């Protein structure tokens, strides 16, 4: 949802979330309230405190959410995801350097694809433009 006013946005979100909860209950489905989180994506510096409730349970607000292995942050900078991938690659490079002494190039290729390539390629189409847009600096 989009709104210029945080209070009206909070009201709209609570109304719509109640509709979702009613639909789930009427279809004999349930929502795990303890695992449900929300995030407000904005370029504004100020943070707002929302109060979103579903079925009497207050939902927690997060600044960064992991969704299908990608870290999404509330200002769309990709800094946390890029940092996460960088740490994975650093660990993979260290392991690769240790294994390199004891294996041939065929084994090195397998290790590269197992430890490095997968992290480089996973969902790259979602966040690859971050450097071009100056978001990761």
pLDDT score for 53: 84
For residue range 45-83, what is the model confidence (pLDDT) as tens digits? 667 777 888 878 888 888 888 888 788 887 777 788 888
Highest mean pLDDT among 22-26, 86-90, 128-132: 22-26
Average pLDDT over residues 103-119: 82
**Domain ranges across the chain:** 6-62, 70-130
**Whether this model's pTM surpasses 0.85:** no
Q: How far apart are CA 74 and CA 48, in angstroms?
A: 12
Instruction: Tally helices (H) and strands (E) across the chain.
Output: 5, 5
Q: Residue for token digits 């004891």?
A: 102
């Amino acid at each position: 949802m989009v709104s210029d006013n945080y209070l009206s946005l909070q009201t709209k979100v609570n109304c719509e979330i109640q509709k979702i909860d009613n639909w789930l209950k009427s279809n004999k489905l349930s929502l795990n309230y303890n695992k449900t989180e929300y995030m407000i994506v904005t370029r504004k510096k100020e943070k707002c405190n929302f109060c979103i409730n579903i079925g009497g349970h207050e939902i927690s607000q997060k600044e960064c959410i992991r969704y299908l292995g990608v870290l999404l942050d509330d200002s769309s900078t990709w800094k946390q995801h890029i940092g996460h991938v960088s740490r994975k690659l650093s660990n993979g490079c260290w392991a690769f350097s240790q294994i390199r002494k004891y294996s041939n190039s065929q084994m090195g290729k397998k290790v590269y694809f197992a430890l490095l390539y997968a992290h480089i390629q996973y969902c790259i189409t979602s966040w690859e433009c971050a450097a071009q847009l100056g978001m990761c600096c």
